[in-house]
C-alpha cells in the first residue's frame, strides 16, 4: 500500500526545489496534493506534472507571510480534497543581500523573517486545526543545518530565521503531542538547488561550503523529499519534536580535509 494513500498534503514552495520534488513524491505515494507557491506559474507546473503522472493535485497561489493567504490555502485543501493530514511548511527565501549583522539591512532581515519564520508560524496556525479536524497527521517545517552551526558564508537573517523554526517546531510538538498532531523539522544540509546556487554564486563560495561536508557533495532536492516522506508517513509515527538532519554529515564534522 502506498505510504500516503487517502491523505491530503499541502506543500508550500511547491514550485521548485524541495517543494516540487516532495509534491511529486507525495502524490506518487497516494496523497492528494495542494501545491502552494507565490509564483503562480511554477506552482501550476508542479501540479500539472503530478496530474500527468497519474496523481491528484491543485495549484494555489499564496504568500505564506500573509495570514489571509495562509488561511485560504488550508481552506482550499479542505474544500477541494475534504481535509488535511500533512502540512509541509517548506517555502523559504535566501536573499543575496543577507550578510553579517553590520551589512544586512533591516528590510532584508524583515523580509527573511516574514517568509521563513512567520510563514511557518502561519502555516501551523491554520494547518493544525485542519489536521485535528481530519483526525490527526504530520507537520514538517523546513529548517536548516545552519540552525545548528554558524554558516561559513554569512547569512545572519536566514540563519536566525531557521533557528526560530526549530524553536517553534519543538514547542508545537509538545503542545499538540496528545492531539494526534506530530510536528518535526527537516534540516537539510547544503543542496544543489537554485536557491542555494544563486546565493553561493562563485566557485570560491561553493568550495567554502563543500569543504565542510564529509560526503564532499551538495545534497539533492529529491533526497530531502524522501526524508520528508518519512516524516509525513506513519513510518515516523513515534517521532515528534525532532530535528531531522539530512546534511551529508556537516553538523557531525569538526574539521574535514579537502
DSSP-assigned letter for residue 101: T
- Strands 56-61, 137-142: pairing is unpaired
Spatial distance between the Cα atoms of 226 and 249, rounded to a whole number of angstroms: 17
Q: Which residue has the cell 563560495?
A: 205
126, 158, 238, 254: which one is catalytic? 158
Could you tell me which residues are beta bridge partners of residue 35?
11, 59
Q: Answer for the pair 46, 22: CB distance below 8 angstroms, yes or no.
A: no
Judged by DSSP in three states, 74 sits in helix
CA distance 37 to 19: 9
Neighbours of 104 (CB within 10 A): 20
User: How many contiguous H segments (helices) and E segments (strands) does the chain have?
Assistant: 9, 7
When computed from its CA atoms, the radius of gyration of the chain, rounded to whole angstroms, is 17
Measured CA to CA in angstroms, residue 70 lies from 48, 175, 184 at distances of 22, 21, 19
Degrees (nearest 5) of the Cα angle 66, 67, 72? Answer: 100
Active site annotation includes 254:
no
Catalytic residues: 158
Amino acid at each position: 500500500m502506498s505510504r500516503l494513500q487517502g491523505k491530503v498534503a499541502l506543500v508550500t514552495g511547491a514550485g521548485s526545489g524541495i517543494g516540487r520534488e516532495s509534491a511529486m513524491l507525495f502524490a506518487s505515494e497516494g496523497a492528494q496534493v495542494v501545491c502552494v507557491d507565490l509564483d503562480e506559474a511554477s506552482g501550476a507546473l508542479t501540479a500539472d506534472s503530478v496530474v500527468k503522472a497519474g496523481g491528484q493535485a491543485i495549484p494555489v497561489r499564496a504568500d505564506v507571510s500573509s495570514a489571509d493567504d495562509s488561511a485560504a490555502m488550508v481552506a482550499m485543501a479542505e474544500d477541494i480534497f475534504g481535509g488535511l493530514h500533512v502540512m509541509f511548511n517548506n517555502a523559504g527565501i535566501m536573499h543575496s543581500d543577507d550578510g553579517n549583522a553590520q551589512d544586512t539591512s533591516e528590510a532584508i532581515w524583515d523580509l527573511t523573517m516574514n517568509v521563513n519564520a512567520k510563514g511557518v508560524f502561519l502555516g501551523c496556525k491554520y494547518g493544525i486545526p485542519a489536521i485535528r479536524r481530519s483526525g490527526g497527521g504530520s507537520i514538517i517545517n523546513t529548517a536548516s543545518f545552519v540552525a545548528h552551526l554558524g554558516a561559513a558564508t554569512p547569512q545572519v537573517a536566514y540563519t536566525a530565521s531557521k533557528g526560530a523554526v526549530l524553536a517553534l517546531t519543538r514547542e508545537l510538538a509538545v503542545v499538540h503531542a496528545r492531539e494526534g498532531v506530530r510536528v518535526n523539522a527537516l534540516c537539510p544540509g547544503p543542496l544543489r538547488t537554485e536557491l542555494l546556487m544563486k546565493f553561493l554564486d562563485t566557485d570560491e563560495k561553493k568550495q567554502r561550503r563543500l569543504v565542510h561536508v564529509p560526503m564532499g557533495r551538495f545534497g539533492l532536492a529529491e533526497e530531502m523529499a524522501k526524508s520528508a516522506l518519512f516524516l509525513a508517513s506513519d513510518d515516523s509515527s513515534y517521532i515528534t519534536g525532532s530535528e531531522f538532519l539530512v546534511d551529508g554529515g556537516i553538523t557531525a564534522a569538526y574539521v574535514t580535509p579537502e
